[in-house]
Amino acid sequence: MMFLCTVLLLSIIHDESIAQKITPLQGRTQVTEGMPINLSCRYDVSVQSLLWYRQYPGSGLEFLLLVVESSKKTVVYADPPIPRLDGEMSMKDKKVDLLISSAEVTDSALYYCALMPTVTENMTTLYKNLQPYSISAKQMVLKVV
């Protein structure tokens, strides 16, 4: 997981052109405690999966969930799962959502949507030869008051 986070950060720093392939639909969002939140990103490339991370000030990235592109809803949650969080993907609209059912002040953080390109070869080979530009991400700010 630490390797994945390092690769994610390297892609943000070193390859903005790749990172442009995913776009947050919100920049800064402020909501009232108890309200539902929907953070969304659009992507313009073929992807296998999209990931959501959260980062508190002075802390590292925290994996929230991974949404797999498929004909049925497939979400892989953090272990242990974080209550109130869910993910959805619309292949038609090329959009991925992070859903927070009821906002809490502790949800105030930076949120990252990240994508991984479609794999057309052996997965073992892909991870062995993973390049820093293989993952791209964008951030958005959420403040709960």
Encode pLDDT of 106-126 as tens digits.
999 999 888 765 444 444 343
Q: What are phi and psi of 20, to 5 degrees?
A: -70, -10
The CA distance from 69 to 29, in Å, is: 26
Model-level pTM? 0.71
Segments in the chain below pLDDT 70: 1-20, 116-140, 145
Q: Which amino acid is at 107?
A: D
**Residue 101 CB contacts under 8 Å (≥ 6 apart), including other chains:** 36, 84, 85, 86
| Helix (H) or strand (E) segment spanning residue 110 | strand 109-117
The CA distance from 88 to 38, in Å, is: 10
**Under 8 Å between Cβ of 114 and 136:** yes
pLDDT score of 145? 66
The CA distance from 98 to 82, in Å, is: 12
Q: Which domains does the chain have, with CATH numbers?
A: 2-144 (2.60.40.10)
22 is written with which tokens?
Answer: 């995913």
44 is written with which tokens?
Answer: 């313009």
The CA distance from 14 to 136, in Å, is: 10
pLDDT score of 127? 39
